Amino acid sequence: MFATKSLLAVLSLCLAFLGVAASPATSSLERRARAQVFSRCTKPNTVALTFDDGPYIYMNDIVNALDAAGAKGTFFFNGNNYDCIYNTNAVNRVKYAYSHGHQVASHTWAHKDLTTLTWDQIHDEMWRVEQALVRITGAYPAFMRPPYGNYNNLVLDASGIRGQSVIIWDFDSQDSLGASPQTSKNLYDGVIGRHPSTILTLNHETIGSFALHQVLPYAIQKLKAAGYQLVTLAECLGMPAYQSVVAPGTRDSNWHC
Ligand SMILES: [Zn+2]
């Protein structure tokens, strides 16, 4: 009995190290369904710059800054947060990022803390933004970042059933925590100075253009000078960005928040 418990403990530790939540009580079916969680990239020498909470008014500037540097970014979109994703400007912004080769992904519909919701409510938050992204781009995202980085086993099971991996981060520019542009720059300098093999960043589309205009070009230039490849999240993990890609839809009366 003791040996069995020890084995289970070791197994749990190994799974925890791999970022897999495991409980001996769950069935194998549940374990297969449960989403994988990634907090870091796996392909050496890559950086994934990710931007949450849009589409919003600074998005095209972010895309332009990435494009100018030959870099790729990943956008975790909400459906109804700072803007409604179906508003004409928001639709155009999503199309702009996608058509320029940047990755689009789910940050769920209304930026709720998923750990406070029921099973049905979690799925509702997930599918509504997935549907919007398929309508607008034709791409069904393979990645989801839970608002606030908060998840529990219910969220992981729901994501797994929906074919998605859950993405956290290993570097926070702290823009959403009120960091000044200089503080964010210092944070980027700090992580670049430590030179980890990979970096998975957290930034926000919605924090003032002043900060973005200053911090993003600075970070891009410094990361490139340090020899990193600035790639999409999918590329830094060596996984497909989308579960399927079809022709985008055309606006109809269902395109509303
Ligand atoms: Zn967010």
Instruction: Kindly list the distances between the CA atom of residue 14 and the CA atoms of 8, 9, 107, 152, in Å, as whole numbers in the listed order.
Output: 10, 9, 28, 19
Surrounding ion ligand 1 within 5 Å at CB are 52-53, 147
Q: Is the pLDDT of residue 20 over 80?
A: no
The SS3 call for residue 80 is strand
CA 149 to ligand 1 centroid distance, Å: 8
Backbone φ and ψ of 218, nearest 5°? -60, -50
Active site residue 204: yes
C-alpha distances out from residue 43 to 92, 140, 211, Å: 32, 23, 29
Neighbours of 130 (CB within 10 A): 23
For the chain, what are the domain ranges? Answer: 4-245
User: Residue 9 C-alpha to ligand 1 middle, in angstroms?
Assistant: 34
In this predicted structure, the answer to whether residue 16 has a pLDDT above a threshold of 60 is: no
What's residue 23's pLDDT?
Answer: 40
pLDDT averaged over the chain?
89
> Which structure tokens are listed for 200?
């998975």
On whether the CB atoms of residues 209 and 55 are closer than 8 A, the answer is no
253 residue type, one letter? S
**Tens-digit pLDDT profile for residues 204-257:** 988 876 666 789 999 999 999 999 999 999 999 999 999 999 999 999 999 999
Instruction: Calculate what percentage of the chain has a pLDDT beyond 70.
Output: 86
pLDDT of the residue at 226: 98
Confidence of residue 17 (pLDDT cuts 50, 70, 90): very low
Tell how far the Cα of 2 is from the centroid of ligand 1, in angstroms.
44
State the distance from the centre of ligand 1 to the C-alpha of 53, rounded, in angstroms.
Answer: 5
pLDDT the model gives residue 206: 87
| Cis? peptide before 55, omega within 30° of 0 | yes
Query: What pLDDT, on the 0 to 100 scale, is given for residue 29?
Result: 52
247 and 138 Cβ atoms separated by less than 8 Å: yes
Specify whether 52 is catalytic.
Answer: yes
Instruction: Report the pLDDT averaged over residues 36-64.
Output: 96
The DSSP result for 208-222, as a single string, is: -HHHHHHHHHHHHHH
Amino acid at 9: A
Alpha-carbon distance of 245 to 255, in angstroms, equals 19
Per-residue pLDDT at 178 = 86
Residue 174 alpha carbon to ligand 1 centre in Å: 12
pTM: 0.87
- Rounded to 5 degrees, φ, ψ at 68 are -60, -25
Q: What is the pLDDT of residue 207?
A: 83
The topology (CATH level 3) of 4-245 is TIM Barrel (3.20.20)
- Which residue stretches of 18-170 are H helix? 28-33, 59-68, 88-99, 119-137, 153-161
Q: Which of 170, 204, 213, 256 is catalytic?
A: 204
Tens-place pLDDT, residues 122-151: 999 999 999 999 999 999 999 999 999 999
